[in-house]
A and B are shown apart, each in its own frame.
Chain A
Amino acid sequence: MKRYLIAVITTAFLAACSSTPTKEQDAAAVEDRGGAAASQQQQPPRTTGPTTTPLEPKGVSGNPLKDPANILSKRSVYFELDSNIVKEEFKPMVSAHARYLQQNRGVKMTVQGHADERGSREYNLALGQRRADAVKQMMQLLGAQSEQVETISFGEEKPKATGHDEKSWAENRRADLVYPND
Chain B
Amino acid sequence: MRPDTDEEPGRRLVVTQVSIDIDKKMKIPKILIFFCGLFFLVEASWAQLRIEVIGGGATQIPVAIVPFRAEEGLAQRLTPVVAADLARSGLFKIVDPGGMNPVPHEPEQLNYPQWRARGADAVVIGAVTKTRDGRYDIRFRVMDAVKQTQIAGFVYFATESQLRLTAHKIADVIYEKLTGDTGVFATRITYVVKRGPRYELHVADADGFGAQTVLSSNEPIISPAWSPDGARLAYVSFEQKKPIVYVQSLTTGSRRAVAAFRGSNSAPAWSPDGRRLAVTLTRDGGSQLFLINADGSGAPVRLMQSTAIDTEANFSPDGQSILFTSDRGGGPQIYRIPVSGGAAQRVTFEGSYNVSPRHSPDGKGFTFIQRNNGRFNVAVQDFASRQVQVLTDGGVDESPSFAPNSKIILYATEVGGRGILSAVSSDGRIKQRLTADVGDAREPAWSPVVNK
Contacts and interface: CB of A to CB of B under 8 A. Distances in A.
Interface string B417-438: 1000000000000000000000
B353 A122 contact: no
B267 interface: yes
Nearest to A127: B309
A118 interface: yes
Interface string A155-174: 10110000010000000000
B286 A122 contact: no
A130 B287 contact: yes
Contacts of B264: 125, 129, 151-153
A150 B223 CA distance: 23
B332 A123 contact: yes
B369 A129 contact: no
Contacts of B287: 125-126, 129-130
A119 interface: yes
Interface string A121-143: 11101110110010000000000
Interface in B379-397: 396
A130 B287 CA distance: 8
A119 B242 contact: no
Contact of B371 (A119, A158, A164): A119
Contacts of A120: 312, 325, 332, 355-356, 369, 398-399
Contacts, number: 90
Contact of A153 (B243, B262, B396): B243
Given A120-B356, A121-B399, A122-B311, A158 B220 contact: yes
Contact of A133 (B238, B241, B286, B398): B286
Contacts of B241: 110, 152
A122 B376 contact: no
A154 interface: yes
Interface residues of B, number: 33
Nearest to A158: B220
A153 B220 CA distance: 12
Contacts of B399: 120-121
Nearest to A113: B264
Interface string B97-115: 0000000000000000000
Contacts of A151: 263-264, 282
B155 to A, nearest CB: 45
Tell me if A's interface is mostly helix, strand, loop or mixed.
mixed
Instruction: Pick from A125, A126, A151, A154 the residue with the most CB of B within 10 Å.
Output: A126
Given A120-B355, A121-B443, A157-B238, A126 B280 contact: yes
A123 B262 CA distance: 19
Contacts of B325: 120, 122-123
Nearest to B265: A152
B266 interface: yes
B312 A122 contact: yes
Nearest to A121: B222
Instruction: Pick from A118, A130, A152, A158 the residue with the most CB of B within 10 Å.
Output: A152
Nearest to A153: B264
Given A129-B264, A152-B263, A154-B238, A123 B243 contact: no
A153 B355 CA distance: 18
Nearest to A151: B263
Interface in B285-318: 285-287, 309, 311-312
Contact of A126 (B309, B356, B417): B309
Contacts of B242: 110, 150, 152
Contact of A125 (B243, B371, B443): B243
B309 A152 contact: no
Nearest to B331: A82
Instruction: Pick from A110, A121, A155 the residue with the most CB of B within 10 Å.
Output: A121
Contacts of A119: 332, 353, 355, 369, 371, 376, 398
A155 B221 CA distance: 12
A120 to B, nearest CB: 4
Contacts of B443: 121
Nearest to B312: A122
A126 B311 contact: yes
Contact of A129 (B263, B332, B398): B263
B356 A122 contact: yes
A72 B399 CA distance: 39
17 contacts: A118-B396, A119-B371, A121-B222, A122-B311, A123-B309, A125-B222, A125-B287, A127-B309, A129-B287, A133-B282, A133-B286, A150-B262, A152-B242, A152-B243, A154-B238, A157-B220, A158-B220
Interface of B: 220, 222-223, 238, 241-243, 262-264, 266-267, 280, 282, 285-287, 309, 311-312, 325, 332, 353, 355-356, 369, 371, 376, 396, 398-399, 417, 443
Given A119-B371, A126-B280, A151-B264, 14 more contacts: A119-B332, A119-B369, A120-B356, A120-B399, A122-B222, A122-B266, A122-B312, A123-B312, A126-B311, A129-B282, A129-B286, A130-B287, A151-B282, A154-B243
Question: Which 6 A-B pairs have CB atoms at the shortest separation, nearest pair first?
Answer: A157-B220, A126-B287, A120-B355, A152-B242, A126-B309, A122-B267
